[in-house]
Amino acid sequence: MQKGRPLTTFYVVVPGLYTAGWYFLVEMTCGEMPRTDRPALFRRSVAFLQSWVIDLNNSIMAASETSIPSHCKAGVVVNPGPNFEVRVEMVEVPQPGPDDLLIRLRATGICSSDLHMMQGDLGTPPMSAFGVRSPGHEGVGIVVKIGANVRNFKVGDRAGIKPLLDTCGACERCWGDKEMHCRSGIHTGLMAPGTYQQYIVSPARYASPIPDTVPDNVAAPIMCSAATMYRSLRESGLKAGDWAVFPGGGGGVGIQGVQIAKAMGIRPIVVDSGETKRALALEMGAESFVDFKETTDTAASVIAVADNIGAHGVFVTAPAAYRNALSYLGDRIGAIVMCVGLAPKDSMTISSDPNFLIFNNTTIKGTLVGSRSDVAASLDLACRGHLKQICEVYPIDQLPEAVKRLRTGQVAGRIVVNFDLAS
C-alpha cells in the first residue's frame, strides 16, 4: 500500500464538546484506488463520522444530566412582609418541560425591587399568593438540560433570566415591543421561582443568549438594571449632548443609566451622597456629581452644571427622589421626568402646578423594565466595552448579609451573588 493521498480536510464538531472550545480536525486519505471508487469511500467515511459524533454527543449529554443534583442552594424568604428575613436553604431542583431550559445559574443580581417583593408593599399580590419563596429576577448561567421541543438552545449554552420569565407572545403589547405590560406575563421572583435559586427553569423562547465576551458578573445585572435604563433612555427621546440627571445614580440601576447615557452621547449628572458613590459615578462616566448632603440647594447645583438652564431629562431610580425631580429641570423647555424606580404604594407623588407643565412643555412618563430587544442591545453595549462591572460580589452563603446591606442603603452600584464563589 502506497502512502495515503489526501482526499479532503474538514472539521468535526461535537456540540457537547464545542461549547467548551473543543473540535476535531480530520484529514481523510486513501491508498491507490480507481478515482471512481473514491466518492463511495468518502460517503461511508462521513456516515461513520456522523454516527460517531452522535454517539459521543449522547454520552456527553447523559453525563451532564447525571451531574444535575436533586437539590440546590437557594435564598428563600422567611416571614414575608415588613420584617422579612432571607435564609439559604436546600430546595428541590425543578424539571424542565418540553419547551423549557434548566439553567444552573452562576450569578444573580440583587435588585431593590426584590425588597419590594419580599415586603409585599407594591399593592400587587404577594409572592406567597403564587407559592414562591425565592425572589430575584436577573440571573445568568449555563443550560444543563433542555426539553424535547427546544431548538434554539443546547446544553452548555449560556442563558439569562429576566424580570419577565414569559409572556403570551400573541397580544398587541407583545407584538408592539411592550411585552413587559402583557396581561399574561409571568414575573420572575414573584409569580415563579426567582434567581436566588441556583437551578431554575425558563421557557426557551424567552431566555436571553449571553455572548461569550460578557462575564457573568456583568451580564447578570444587565438582565434587569441595564435593560431597564436602556429602555427608559430610549423612550425619553434625549439625544447626544443633552443633560440627564440621575438622582440616586450611585445605586445599581442609576449607575447603569450613567454608563448607557455616556455611550449614547448624553451628558450624565449624578445626585447622591458619599465618596464611594462619587468615585464610582465619575469612573463610570458622570460629568458631575452633586452630593445632596454637602449643598444647601441641590437643584441650583444641578442647574448650574446644565448650562444654567436645567436638565433635559431626569431619571428617577431612588423613590425618595421623586419629590424633587421636577426641580432639576429648571427653565428647560420640553424636558422630561422618567419614573423608573418602584416605590411602596401611595408613598410618593410627583406634584406640580399644571401651569408649570403647560408653559414649559414638560412631560412626566414611566417605564417598567426592558424588553428582549432592550436586553440584547444592552448586551451589545457590554460587548463593545460600554458596560463595565459595577458590583460587589458575594457567595450564596452570604446572601442574607448582602440583602441586609442593600436594605440599609450601604451599597454603591449593584450586589451580585456568584453561585460558584466559595464562602
Transcribe 28-66 into DSSP letters.
EEE-S--GGGHHHHHHHHHHHHHHHHHHHHHHHHHHHHH
Q: What is the mean pLDDT of residues 259-272?
A: 98
Query: Could you tell me if 235 and 343 lie in one domain?
Result: yes
Query: pLDDT of 366-381, one tens digit each?
Result: 999 999 999 999 999 9
Query: How does strand 208-209 pair with strand 158-161?
Result: antiparallel
Residue 17 forms part of a structural domain: yes
Residue 415 pLDDT grade (very low, low, confident, very high; cuts 50, 70, 90)? very high
Residue 249 forms part of a structural domain: yes
Residue 1 pLDDT grade (very low, low, confident, very high; cuts 50, 70, 90)? very low
Whether residue 14 has pLDDT greater than 80: no
Query: Could you tell me if 328 and 199 lie in one domain?
Result: no
What pTM value is reported for the model?
A: 0.84
Whether residue 99 has pLDDT greater than 50: yes
Query: pLDDT of 50-68, one tens digit each?
Result: 666 666 655 555 555 558 9
Q: Return the percentage of the chain with pLDDT > 90, whole number.
A: 80
Q: Report how far residue 326's alpha carbon sits from residue 311's, in angstroms, rounded to the nearest whole number.
A: 10
Residue 127 forms part of a structural domain: yes
- What pLDDT is recorded for position 146? 96
* Residue 152's CATH number: 3.90.180.10
Query: pLDDT of 106-141, one tens digit each?
Result: 999 999 999 999 999 999 999 999 999 999 999 999
Query: Could you tell me if 291 and 247 lie in one domain?
Result: yes
Residue 44 forms part of a structural domain: yes
C-alpha cell at 156: 452548555
Query: Could you tell me if 109 and 125 lie in one domain?
Result: yes
Residue 422 pLDDT grade (very low, low, confident, very high; cuts 50, 70, 90)? confident
Whether residue 188 has pLDDT greater than 90: yes
Q: Which residue's C-alpha cell is 466559595?
A: 422
Q: What is the mean pLDDT of residues 192-205?
A: 98
What residues contact 126, with CB distance under 8 A and at least 6 apart? Answer: 80, 117, 120
Residue 269 pLDDT grade (very low, low, confident, very high; cuts 50, 70, 90)? very high
Q: Report how far residue 404's alpha carbon sits from residue 420's, in angstroms, rounded to the nearest whole number.
A: 21
Q: Report how far residue 107's alpha carbon sits from residue 228's, in angstroms, rounded to the nearest whole number.
A: 19
Residue 385 forms part of a structural domain: no
Q: Report how far residue 64's alpha carbon sits from residue 86's, in angstroms, rounded to the nearest whole number.
A: 31
Query: Could you tell me if 134 and 62 lie in one domain?
Result: no
Which of 50, 66, 82 is the endpoint of a domain? 66
- What pLDDT is recorded for position 346? 87
Query: Could you tell me if 237 and 334 lie in one domain?
Result: yes
**Are 392 and 416 contacting, i.e. CB atoms less than 8 angstroms apart?**
yes
Q: Could you tell me the residue range of the domain that residue 346 belongs to?
A: 226-366
Q: Report how far residue 246's alpha carbon sits from residue 241's, in angstroms, rounded to the nearest whole number.
A: 16
Query: Could you tell me if 202 and 82 lie in one domain?
Result: yes
Instruction: Give 375 or 47, the one with higher predicted confidence.
Output: 375
Query: Could you tell me if 357 and 291 lie in one domain?
Result: yes
Residue 238 has φ and ψ, to the nearest 5°, of -65, 150
Residue 374 forms part of a structural domain: no
Query: How does strand 313-316 pair with strand 336-339?
Result: parallel
Q: Which residue's C-alpha cell is 427653565?
A: 331
Query: Could you tell me if 121 and 237 lie in one domain?
Result: no
**Domain count across the chain:** 3
Query: Could you tell me if 236 and 354 lie in one domain?
Result: yes
Residue 36 pLDDT grade (very low, low, confident, very high; cuts 50, 70, 90)? low
Q: Can you say whether the dihedral through the CA atoms of 196, 201, 203, 205 is positive or negative?
A: positive
